[in-house]
A = this chain, B = another copy of it.
């Protein structure tokens, strides 16, 4: 295991300490609970957005805490759901009287724990609602999931629902647009390499030097097909074919596009993939809205691979996606 860490059991705490030292004006950390909270929380009268999940997907989740996106993020152990207690603590820290909205990726542990947290919060007088994201078209049911998995498209939900909450939408209004974003986005990933959680020190799966897996999940869950590495254009064709062939008709629409690196994939390769994505979308009559989102948005530690997300936009979504926000995952330049 080759990592810049101290004691493996402290990686999440060490990371959160670094985040707080780095971005103190923007966020604070409730260290006893592993919860990242925007510095000025709670914002009175605003619906508060909370997300979270296992660590190892940075900048997801804490990197999206700040004005215009999340009010709080719960950091579980690496690839492990946070607990209902963490989520309750986050809810109490950010509730400004207008309720707390949970953005939950569809993994069984996350879903169960956020549902339980909602019950605990309601018992304390905090209104809650949630959306479960399930943008990954690759497989139905998976190692940790019933139905489809929630992956990088979830960041679009953070951004758009976050801006909607800033804009004064109430809990049901935030829920409505969050669900609409989820219903209109589709993603798919692929992996060239495995990754190693620091706590176990062992790769989460084995893969041969000349192989890739199409449809791989962000915790190494099996995908559709394992085969010899193909040229980038063929890989993109297979991924986009599955996305465009799914139940959202993207043709004729303006679409937000994300090419998300999984941690170990150089930007050179993401741009190479995007060149062909752009060609295919043009051929299919799909218009790319503004600039595509190309970079590391939701990673799997140091995994080499990437995912593609398309989100079919309406006018309201465009306004919220383009609204300003201030989060650690935005580069400071």
Contact = CB atoms under 8 A, between A and B. Distances in A.
A58 B266 CA distance: 7
Contact of A268 (B11, B267, B273): B11
Contacts of A126: none
Contacts of A22: 271, 274, 278, 291-292, 294
A265 to B, nearest CB: 6
Given A22-B278, A266-B302, A6 B291 contact: no
Contacts of A183: none
A267 B192 contact: no
B302 A18 contact: no
Contact of A302 (B270, B299, B304, B332): B304
A316 to B, nearest CB: 18
A19 B294 CA distance: 10
A78 B148 CA distance: 39
Contacts of A232: 4-6, 14
B275 A4 contact: no
A186 to B, nearest CB: 20
Interface string A1-41: 01111110001101111110111011000000000000000
Closest 10 CB pairs of A and B: A18-B271, A18-B275, A58-B267, A4-B269, A2-B192, A21-B278, A18-B274, A14-B272, A17-B275, A15-B271
